[in-house]
A and B are shown apart, each in its own frame.
Chain A
Amino acid sequence: MIAIIDYGVGNLFSLHSSLTYIGASATVTNDPAVIASADKIILPGVGAFGDAAAKLAALGLDKVIKTEVDNGKPILGICLGMQLLFDVSYEYGVHRGLGLIPGAIRPISDVIPRGYKIPKIGWNRLIFTERGLCDPIYSALKNDTDKAYVYFVHSYYADCPDEYVTARDVYGAPLTASVRRGNVAGVQFHPEKSGDVGLSLLRGFCFSDGHCVNASSTCTGDITI
């Protein structure tokens, strides 16, 4: 069972529907016992970082997530849920994240040329890193990278060491599109809103045994059922 963490932000209906559609068993919950009994965790989220981090903490879910991750449970952060995996965000102030992946969340406007619309909204093509090509969530896409268009909505991006980046997309400048550190994965885009490509990625997360096809030592997709 996949636990979709409900902490009062975002449209969980579509995410839950997409998991049901691909045949995964998913529960929307904020109950630590349910999260502890889940095989995997999805941390969704839209809106402002500070508000979301405060809500997670108020429900005690920050500690629950960290404990489960320490126990090796696979987690996928989506959009703001991905950003929350990092150390810190500079969105309207300075806010601490879960610290599961080293890096900071900064305004896109810091790194892209003037004239680009913000928020960045729309479909962009993923450019996989070498690690990304062996990431279990991308197992169905790696031979068809021309089709790897996914839907983004964001104004902030993850500034993190290359070793954690599994894909980027180009919007005036390359931006982090997805990350992984061991059993912790995150996507800046919305797989539940990215058509067949997004569904294939969710299948990769939900059903993959997580073993990397490529023997690179940096490939640590610890996803197991």
Chain B
Amino acid sequence: MITKRIIPCLDVRNGRVVKGVNFTGLRDVDSPVTLAKKYSDGGADELVFYDITASAEGRSIFTDILREAAKCVFIPLTVGGGISTIEDFDRVLKCGADKVSVNSGAIADPTLISRAAERYGSQCVVISADVKRVGGEWHVFAKGGRIDTGMEAISWIARCVSLGAGEVVVNSMDTDGVCGGFDIPLIRAVCDAVTVPVIASGGAGSALDFIKLFTEVPECSAGLAASIFHYGNVTIEDLKKTLASAGIPVRL
């Protein structure tokens, strides 16, 4: 049986891992390579590197870091942030990324998904959606959560999968960074709508939140989190042991 994946997310800006609350108020955390190695040694099943720099200079620092991480971390690496062309895919795949997550780039041009899937395979293309409740409906947001696209989230995600995305990351902006638990109704709705693996993101505050996620939405493939790991609330080792003792299949 495929185990549930635990995925730490590293938001990288100017060569450092940072983390905010509800998409704002960034704090410095650690060196990305140090943290990546620590999480991998601790039993992380995968890592996400998110490039939140805007400048060209920041971008080249980011790819240098990615390359360094890929030399010493031998678990799957997903890279996202600022991916809007096939050349962007190429750039990060050459530096050791296994999967590339697209967000605003796919909103601007959905054919980015089909073109990338055709070239690199669906397994390489991850659709990452920032989702927030707006007037009783889930909306997709662009540009790091700053712009409401007005699009209904579940149908957008289903469309991305039909275009060739092989995996979905659902970031609930309502629960992100608050550590009050995953957005169960949203994750449930996405799992019901697509046949590819779904990764829940936003809101993990304790091991109990992961147990609740995988118990209430058993179809969910993975849980992604940042703050809970960065600030040492729970180590990956302890989290996985707790999950295993709750009967949830994990790789120990």
Contacts and interface: CB of A to CB of B under 8 A. Distances in A.
Contacts of B233: none
Contacts of A90: none
B60 interface: no
Interface stretch (B91-99, B131-139, B180-188): B91-99
B131 to A, nearest CB: 20
Given A13-B94, A193-B76, A117 B196 contact: yes
Contacts of A60: none
Contact of B45 (A18, A120, A122, A171): A122
Interface string B76-96: 110000000000000001111
A119 B74 contact: no
A46 interface: yes
A213 interface: no
A123 B167 CA distance: 15
A151 B120 contact: no
B251 interface: yes
A107 B43 CA distance: 31
A2 B167 CA distance: 33
Nearest to A45: B121
Contact of A117 (B77, B94, B124, B197): B197
Given A119-B122, A119-B197, A124 B70 contact: no
A46 B167 contact: no
Contacts of A195: 40, 74-75
A123 B1 contact: no
Contacts of B122: 119, 155
Nearest to B167: A121
A18 B40 CA distance: 14
Interface in A184-225: 190, 192-195, 198-199
Contacts of B222: 122
Contacts of B96: 11, 13-14, 17
Tell me which of B95, B197, B251 has the highest count of chain A C-beta atoms within 10 A of its own C-beta: B251
A170 interface: yes
Interface string A49-66: 000000000000000000
A111 interface: no
Contacts of B2: 120-124, 152, 171
B195 interface: yes
Contacts of A14: 70, 74, 77, 96, 98
A125 B249 CA distance: 11
Interface of B: 1-3, 5, 40, 45, 67, 70-72, 74-77, 93-98, 120-124, 166-167, 195-197, 219, 221-222, 251-252
